[in-house]
């Protein structure tokens, strides 16, 4: 790992949607970022796909100043109670400190309930999904695969590749033609994009 880089923190909790962040974490790790998993505690959690994960650290022990990015995946628990509200509050702490947050699927609803989307351009699964939270940011909702507003990235559940693209752009992992080629390869299966990545060493 690159000793000069801060780690990326990836939230993990029971019912997390394990398919939503794999593109991002795999290529961040290849780019030299350490991926550290963050749970409600350090007790094991189980993803919606049945993967058992032992968190590296508990949420209370995560500080924005020690992180390059906080990733919040979706999960059923975002919509069935307040169990994950502490993760939305941690996202507020990160954004207040100027540290990026990337939220996908149900995590966007958690941020909406926390008031973090009221004044930021954002997206999610569909507009009425967020509207059901009662949040005040409906006018800032856009129909897009993924959206970056300042230090906040949002995406819907069917857009893990676009979600990763925005993360790479924000962190400067891939840029310009290389970023475009990465997206075309993994989203569109564009074989011509592979040559661009091979030449740039960016796959």
List, by residue number, the catalytic residues. 105
| In contact, 146 and 108? CB cutoff 8 Å | no
Burial class (CB in 10 A: 0-12, 13-18, 19+), 4: exposed
Closest CA to 115 of 100, 136, 97, 84: 136
Q: Which residues pair with 72 in a beta bridge?
A: 103
* Pick from 77, 70, 68: nearest CA to 17: 77
């Amino acid at each position: 790992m690159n000793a000069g880089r801060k780690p990326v923190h990836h939230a993990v909790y029971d019912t997390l949607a394990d398919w939503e962040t794999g593109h991002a974490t795999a290529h961040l790790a290849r780019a030299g970022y350490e991926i550290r998993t963050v749970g409600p505690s350090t007790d094991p959690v189980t993803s919606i796909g049945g993967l058992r994960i032992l968190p590296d650290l508990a949420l209370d022990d995560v500080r924005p100043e020690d992180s390059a990015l906080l990733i919040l995946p979706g999960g059923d628990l975002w919509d069935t109670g307040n169990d994950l509200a502490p993760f939305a509050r941690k996202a507020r702490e990160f954004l207040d400190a100027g540290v990026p947050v990337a939220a996908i699927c149900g995590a966007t609803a958690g941020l909406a309930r926390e008031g973090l989307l009221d004044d930021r351009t954002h997206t999610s699964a569909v507009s009425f999904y967020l509207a059901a939270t009662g949040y005040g940011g409906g006018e800032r909702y856009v129909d897009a695969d993924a959206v970056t507003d300042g230090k906040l990235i949002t995406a819907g559940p069917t857009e893990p590749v676009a979600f990763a693209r925005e993360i790479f752009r924000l962190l400067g992992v891939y840029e310009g033609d290389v970023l475009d080629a990465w997206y075309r390869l993994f989203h569109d299966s564009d074989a011509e994009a592979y040559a661009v990545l091979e030449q740039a060493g960016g796959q």
